[in-house]
Amino acid sequence: MPFSSRRSSYLIVWLLATVACTPKDVPPPAPVLPVPAPSQLAWHRMEMNAFVHFSINTFTDKEWGFGAESPDLFQPTAFDAKQWVAAFKETGFKGVILTCKHHDGFCLWPSAHTQHSVKQSPWMNGEGDVVRALATACRGAGLEFGIYVSPWDRNHADYGTPAYVNYYRDQLRELFQTYGPIFEMWFDGANGGDGFYGGAHEKRKIDGASYYDWPATLDLVRSFNPNVIFFSDAGPGARWVGNEKGIAGETNWNTITPDTLYAGKAGIEQLLNTGSEGGTHWIPAETDVSIRPGWFYHDREDSLVKTPEQLFNIYLTSVGRGSTLLLNIPPDSRGLIHENDVAALRGFRVLLNERFAHDLAREATIRANHYRGNAVEFSPGLLIDGNPDTYWATDDEVISASVELQWPREQIIRYVQLQEAIALGQRVRSWKAEIFKNNKWVQVATATTVGYKRILDVGDQTTARLRITITDARASLALAELSVF
C-alpha cells in the first residue's frame, strides 16, 4: 500500500475512533423503577403549597362539626380570597388546597346535590361561592388550585349506604367540571363514626378498605383531569407523611408498596413516614401541618401562631427531606388571614431568602473522582448549572463516588443541598459531607436518602473545600443539583 494511502487509512481509523468515543455515544443510565409520572415530577417541583381550612367550624370554634350546624352560622364579614392568595404567593407557595367540604358536610360551593351549603347562608344573600372565589384568585395569581372533599359526611342522611358514595361522586364531578383544572385532590382518612346523618343522630361504621370503592372514584375523576394528584394515606399520587407535625422521615423513600394500605388504616404511620426502598409504586410523602395548633381558626390561638423560625425548621424537615410541604393557614371569621399569620409567613419568607439566597456552589470549581464514560453530558459541572434536568452520572457499576467543590478562599457554609435526578428513579442510600480543614478531610454530616431534595445543616463551617461522597446507592448515580449556602 503506498504511504499516502496508508496514511489516509490511518486517518480514517483515527477519525472513526474519535467519533466512536464522542460523549454522544455514552448512553444515559437506565431508570431505576418505579419512576414518577410527569404530573408527580411537576408536583415535586412545587415544593410548598398552602392548605386552607375554612368552614362552619370557623364560626362555631370547633375542629370537627357534628353535621347539624345551621348554614346561618356561615357569615364572614370581610371575606377576601385575594388577600389569602396574596399572602400565600408572597411566601412562595405554588398551590392552594381548600376544604370545600369538611367532615360536617357543609359545602363551600352552591352544590346542586344538597341544601347544606353556602346557598342557604346569609353571606352574600346565599349568592356566595368560596370555591369559585379562591379558584379565581389562584388563577389570577398564577397558583394552582386543589380541593379537599371529606369522604366522611356527618350531615348526609345516606352516609354508610351505597347512595352516599354516588352523592360523593356527584360532588366530585360537579367540582372538577365547574372549578377545574384542579392539581391535587385530598382524600382524608378520618372517620369518627357518630354524627347528625340527616337527623338520625347515631354512630355509623363503614369498612374503610371497601366502602368508598376508591378505584372507581379515581377513574371517574381522572376522566375529567388525568393529571390530578390524588393524596391519601396510600396515594396513589402522594401519600400522607404519617404525622401532622411537619416531619418527614430522615430516610424518605418516594417508593412504597400500597397493596395493603388504605386511608384511615391504623398503624401504618411509620411506614408512611419513611416509605420503603424497593416499594412497587412512586408515591411521595406530603407533609401537612398547621401554622396554628388547630386546623381551623380559633381566636384563642392567635398567640400560638408558629414563629418564622419554627416554620423554617419545618421547611428543613419537610422540603429538606425530599417531601412537599402543605402548610395550613386558616382564615378567621372575617374571612381573612389573620395579621399574626401574615406576619409569620412574611418572617418565614425573609428567613428563606436570607439563608438560601446565595448559592456558593455556583462560585466554586467542581470535580469528581469519576463520571459516566467521561462524557461531558454526565460531568460534575452539571451539578452546579442550576438546571434540574441535567445531571452528574456514574458508570453502571459505580454506586459510590465523590465530588469536590473548591473556592479561591475560605467560605462559611451552613447548608448543603443535594438533589437526585428523580425522573430516573430514587437511588441514593447514604452519603456524607466533609470539609478540608488543617490539611485533612473532616466529616461534618452524614445522611441516608436524597430523593427530590435533601438539605443538611452542617453548622457554620469555615473551609475552602467541600467534598460530597455518595457512599451507597441502589444503582449507578444520577444527581441533578448541588447547592451550598
Residues that bind ligand FUL (CB under 6 A): 63, 188, 190, 288, 295
d(CA 183, CA 238): 12
SS3 state at 52: strand
- Rounded to 5 degrees, φ, ψ at 392 are -85, 130
Smallest gap, in angstroms, from Cβ of residue 101 to ligand FUL?
11
d(CA 105, CA 131): 15
In this structure, what DSSP letter does residue 28 have? P
> Between residues 153 and 288, which has the closer beta carbon with respect to ligand FUL?
288
> Between residues 53 and 453, which has the closer beta carbon with respect to ligand FUL?
53
> Between residues 188 and 404, which has the closer beta carbon with respect to ligand FUL?
188
d(CA 408, CA 390): 26
> Between residues 286 and 481, which has the closer beta carbon with respect to ligand FUL?
286
Closest of 48, 97, 92 to residue 314, by C-alpha: 48
Lookup result for grid cell 357518630: 194
> Between residues 289 and 450, which has the closer beta carbon with respect to ligand FUL?
289
Smallest gap, in angstroms, from Cβ of residue 105 to ligand FUL?
13
> Between residues 44 and 154, which has the closer beta carbon with respect to ligand FUL?
154
Closest of 336, 395, 404 to residue 27, by C-alpha: 395
> Between residues 135 and 326, which has the closer beta carbon with respect to ligand FUL?
326
d(CA 392, CA 381): 8
> Between residues 54 and 295, which has the closer beta carbon with respect to ligand FUL?
295
d(CA 253, CA 444): 23
Smallest gap, in angstroms, from Cβ of residue 145 to ligand FUL?
17
d(CA 120, CA 141): 30
Using CB atoms, what's the residue nearest to ligand FUL?
190
Closest of 70, 238, 101, 124 to residue 174, by C-alpha: 101
- Whether the ω angle into residue 122 lies within 30 degrees of 0, i.e. cis, is no
Smallest gap, in angstroms, from Cβ of residue 100 to ligand FUL?
12
Q: Any idea of the CA torsion for 84, 99, 139, 78, to the nearest 10 degrees?
A: -40
Smallest gap, in angstroms, from Cβ of residue 63 to ligand FUL?
6
In this structure, what DSSP letter does residue 237 have? S
Smallest gap, in angstroms, from Cβ of residue 275 to ligand FUL?
20
With contact defined as beta carbons under 8 Å apart, do 481 and 388 qualify?
yes
d(CA 183, CA 237): 11
With contact defined as beta carbons under 8 Å apart, do 165 and 115 qualify?
no
Smallest gap, in angstroms, from Cβ of residue 300 to ligand FUL?
17
Smallest gap, in angstroms, from Cβ of residue 282 to ligand FUL?
23
Lookup result for grid cell 469536590: 404
Q: Which grid coordinates are listed for 330?
A: 386558616
> Between residues 46 and 289, which has the closer beta carbon with respect to ligand FUL?
289
Smallest gap, in angstroms, from Cβ of residue 403 to ligand FUL?
40
Smallest gap, in angstroms, from Cβ of residue 189 to ligand FUL?
6
> Between residues 264 and 380, which has the closer beta carbon with respect to ligand FUL?
264
Q: Give the residues across from 239 on adjacent strands.
A: 232, 285
